[in-house]
Homo-oligomer: A and B are copies of this chain.
């Protein structure tokens, strides 16, 4: 590989590959360190790093197919790691509450978004798309914050994780309906099939996955390939991420389910630590890449800026109300914890906006508004989460919980 020609293999845009890798990784980690010292959540620092190095500020790097891919792999690994700490039974126990949180957390934000834009005088289809984008939940951010605080084993954490899985399926259905409306006609049979597949896949992995993996375990230990537990885990993670994607749910849901299926069989082994090392390398690309999506120049005028601020506030409040209502029986504090946990829209909100833009049904202004809302909610939630969860008893079982003390 002869230096200056070394990138002939990776053609377009490849020339800046090494600069991009270095700047994203180091900027994210430096900000993470700074935020840790300021006793602020590291994730927020890493997203801010992305804003700083991205097109809106320094323009050292910009989102490309490469950064998006690394980001995707990073968040897949994160959810896999979170799954490794979550046994299926943990989620079953909170199933009812998670369902309530997810359903109300979809309805309230959608209504808030739709009504606000309708009142603002925007076209109906744009109002619907903004509503759909406000439904999204980027569970990775919350999972990372709670993981770093060693709180993934709390009941509320499990409610958030369970609700995120259900939320994703509901979001899939809403987006399918909304997209078909934008294209002219809604094919309910097709949407029902997609929804059925998504639900079937999830239930299948949850109910059969762990048992199947436990049976395979002795065989995996006999494999000669290096680090066989890790290799098997990563294979399952990539495999279920792929199936989830083809079935119609998010790849991260597949990765989370893969982790959950393995949770019992890897308990007490070194595997979660190894998976954590891989995640530490790739996750910064996910977090920085979110910040890099922000394009401040898309917020053309005072009207758009005002709308961005209003929509962001409503995005926070509507999840607080909707998700909070679902667990109000547990008390106000827990309701607020769950509500805030569902606030970050992150990459999911961005994807919805991009689909709207791709279908030609939302304007550049509205796209900028949703982008702003997605990044801002992702940035706002972590510090509030830290405050809301302060004083909760940390579960410090170092050998079992990979995310807590080391990350």
Contacts and interface: CB of A to CB of B under 8 A. Distances in A.
Given A25-B234, A355-B8, A358-B8, A36 B224 contact: yes
B2 A171 contact: yes
A109 B390 CA distance: 66
B242 A18 contact: yes
Q: Majority SS of interface residues in chain A?
A: helix
A174 to B, nearest CB: 9
A377 B50 CA distance: 42
A248 B280 contact: no
A126 interface: no
Interface in A25-48: 25-26, 29, 32-33, 36-37, 42
Contact of A32 (B4, B136, B225): B225
A171 to B, nearest CB: 5
A166 B347 CA distance: 45
Nearest to A348: B1
A11 B249 CA distance: 18
A277 B230 CA distance: 8
A98 interface: no
Interface in A218-249: 223-227, 230-231, 234-235, 238-239, 241-242, 244-249
Q: How many copies of this chain does one complex carry?
A: 2
A383 to B, nearest CB: 17
A129 to B, nearest CB: 12
A6 to B, nearest CB: 5
Nearest to A351: B8
A116 interface: no
A208 B385 CA distance: 44
Interface of A: 1-14, 17-19, 21-22, 25-26, 29, 32-33, 36-37, 42, 63, 65-66, 68-73, 75, 136, 138, 148, 168, 171-172, 175-176, 179, 194, 198, 223-227, 230-231, 234-235, 238-239, 241-242, 244-253, 273-278, 280-281, 347-348, 350-352, 354-355, 358, 406-407
Contact of A251 (B18, B42, B66): B18
A164 B25 CA distance: 28
B68 A14 contact: yes
Nearest to A172: B2
Contacts of A14: 65, 68-69
Contact of A1 (B19, B198, B274, B347): B347
Contacts of A70: 69
Contacts of A354: 8-9
Contact of A65 (B2, B65, B406): B65
A36 B281 CA distance: 28
Contacts of A406: 226-227
B225 A29 contact: yes
Given A225-B32, A280-B227, A407-B226, A2 B242 contact: no
A250 B358 CA distance: 39
Contacts of A29: 225, 231, 235
Given A29-B235, A69-B66, A72-B17, A249 B3 contact: yes
A227 B66 contact: no
B68 A251 contact: no
Contacts of A22: 235, 238-239, 241-242
A234 B2 CA distance: 22
Contacts of A71: 9
Contacts of A42: 225-226
